[in-house]
Amino acid sequence: MNWKSFFLGLSVGLVSGFVAKELLDTNSNVSPEKALANAKSLFKQSGPISGSWIQMKTESYEKQGLTYDVYRGGISRTVGHEISQYEFIADAKTGAIIDIVRLS
């Protein structure tokens, strides 16, 4: 075996693997579970929550002229004897909360 060919093949393989990993990382979404965990930690700052849900598929959402791929989810919390429900919109790329709407 020629050592030059071996090291050339090894180098090409390493560079190709690195480039492929970077491309996959930039085009991948945050898991719905991570987006829900972000929302729950945000709501827990104001008090305990009693329930939560999230849709597993992304959908398009437009806000202020910008279009996002998002996850929709919800949070329930009990304050005193009253149940409050919120719907949230989480960016699928970063998991950041884009919008929150109080339902009841």
Give tens-digit pLDDT for 20-70. Answer: 777 766 667 889 999 999 999 999 998 889 999 999 999 999 999 989 999
pLDDT at 25: 65
Phi-psi category of 3—alpha, beta or left, where left has phi over 0 and alpha has psi -120 to 50? alpha
pLDDT band of 16, cuts 50, 70, 90: confident
Task: Out of 3.40.1170.10, 3.90.1170.50, 3.40.640.10, 3.10.450.40, select the CATH number for domain 31-102.
Answer: 3.10.450.40
Using DSSP, state whether 14 is helix, strand or coil. Answer: helix
Identify the DSSP state of 47: S
Enter the pTM of the model.
Answer: 0.71
Query: What CA–CA distance (Å, rounded) separates 77 from 98?
Result: 20
**What is the residue extent of each domain of the chain?**
1-28, 31-102
Identify the DSSP state of 32: H
